[in-house]
């Protein structure tokens, strides 16, 4: 998996400018690459693409990977998408509510290219296609990428919170199976949950992950219950309440 330096900053609030969308899409399609190649691929001014990349880097949607010699013998900075950048590109591609307008070829290409970033989701895409659950998987992915800032800010209180990738993977499989937090109250899972689960039960990696996380969820729920009970005991046993 490609690694690189990410400039500190805030995730860029969508909608992005046209130039930024062009830069992100080109990196998803042709990257890792340099700004000159992005400019050449789209016929845009170098300054336009340079500013777009720099803004995206500040917002942690793209990252510097390395300096590499070009065909002209000069050295140029090479950039690629960050994980948030990958989600931003997918958010753009999955934006139409009409699924017939989705560019499935492009979406599959992006998912396949970055399979190492999310092995249990992107890395299983061929399996979803084979099992006939790709549209269900894409709809779940759509709801996640549309709400990634909510995931960062609030998340599902009983989901693992170690990093964004862990959260996305957990929500991809568990969204709609348990009561969600306020951040996801408006989500409507428009498919048969049983059909979704039956679609991946034949994959041993996904099944093992699901069973492990199910047990972890049970433990987190139990721990949360214990915390709530302690709080109730403290409140009921407080001096102020005893006086009443």
Residue 164: inside a domain: yes
Residue 97: inside a domain: no
Q: Which CATH number characterizes residue 47's domain?
A: 1.10.10.10
Residue 12: inside a domain: no
For residues 238 and 167, state if they share a domain: no
**pLDDT of res. 11:** 43
Cα–Cα distance, 28 to 20 (Å, whole number): 12
Domain count, the chain: 3
Residue 103: inside a domain: no
For residues 187 and 233, state if they share a domain: no
Cα–Cα distance, 124 to 165 (Å, whole number): 15
For residues 125 and 198, state if they share a domain: yes
Whole domain around residue 222: which residue ranges?
Answer: 214-243
Residue 92: inside a domain: no
**DSSP-assigned beta bridge partners for residue 81:** 62
What's the pLDDT tens digit per position in 139-165?
A: 889 988 887 766 665 556 667 776 889
For residues 46 and 77, state if they share a domain: yes
**pLDDT of res. 211:** 92
Whether residue 128 has pLDDT greater than 90: yes
Residue 7: inside a domain: no
Residue 5: inside a domain: no
For residues 146 and 203, state if they share a domain: yes
For residues 40 and 71, state if they share a domain: yes
For residues 183 and 224, state if they share a domain: no
For residues 198 and 239, state if they share a domain: no
Cα–Cα distance, 144 to 150 (Å, whole number): 9
20 phi-psi bin (left φ>0, alpha ψ -120 to 50, beta other): alpha
For residues 138 and 197, state if they share a domain: yes
What's the pLDDT tens digit per position in 2-58?
A: 334 433 333 444 578 999 999 999 999 998 999 999 999 999 999 999 999 999 999
For residues 123 and 200, state if they share a domain: yes
Whether residue 172 has pLDDT greater than 50: yes
**pLDDT of res. 6:** 39
Q: 203 vs 4, 41, 120, 122, 129, CA distance in Å? A: 32, 39, 10, 14, 13
Residue 131: inside a domain: yes
For residues 203 and 220, state if they share a domain: no
For residues 136 and 58, state if they share a domain: no
Contact 65, 4 (CB under 8 A): yes
Percent of the chain whose predicted confidence (pLDDT) is above 70: 78
Contact 28, 86 (CB under 8 A): yes
Confidence of residue 72 (pLDDT cuts 50, 70, 90): confident
Cα–Cα distance, 26 to 41 (Å, whole number): 8
Locate all alpha helices (DSSP H) within the chain, ordered by sequence. 18-30, 35-42, 46-58, 83-93, 104-113, 125-131, 134-146, 148-153, 164-174, 193-200, 204-236, 239-243
**Among residues 85, 105, 124, which one ends one of the domains?**
85
């Amino acid at each position: 998996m490609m690694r690189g330096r990410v400039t500190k900053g805030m995730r860029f609030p969508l909608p992005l400018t046209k130039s930024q969308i062009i830069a992100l899409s080109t990196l998803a399609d042709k990257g890792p690459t340099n700004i000159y190649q992005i400019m050449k691929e789209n016929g845009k001014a170098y300054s336009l693409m340079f500013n777009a990349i720099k803004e995206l880097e500040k917002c942690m949607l793209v990252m510097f990977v390395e300096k590499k010699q070009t065909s002209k013998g000069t050295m140029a900075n090479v950039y690629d998408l960050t994980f948030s950048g990958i989600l931003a590109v997918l958010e753009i591609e999955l934006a139409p509510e009409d699924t017939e307008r989705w560019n499935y070829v492009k979406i599959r290409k992006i998912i396949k290219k970055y399979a190492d970033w999310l092995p249990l989701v992107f890395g299983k895409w061929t399996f979803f296609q084979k099992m006939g659950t790709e549209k269900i998987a894409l709809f779940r992915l759509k709801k996640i990428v549309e709400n990634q800032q909510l995931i960062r800010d609030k998340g599902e209180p009983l989901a693992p919170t170690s990093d964004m990738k862990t959260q996305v993977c957990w929500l991809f499989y568990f969204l709609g199976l348990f009561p969600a937090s306020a951040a996801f109250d408006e989500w409507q899972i428009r498919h048969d949950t049983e059909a979704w689960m039956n679609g991946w039960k034949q994959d041993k990696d996904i099944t093992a992950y699901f069973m492990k996380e199910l047990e972890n969820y049970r433990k987190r729920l139990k721990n949360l219950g214990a915390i709530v009970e302690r709080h109730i005991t403290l409140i009921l046993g407080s001096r102020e309440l005893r006086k009443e």
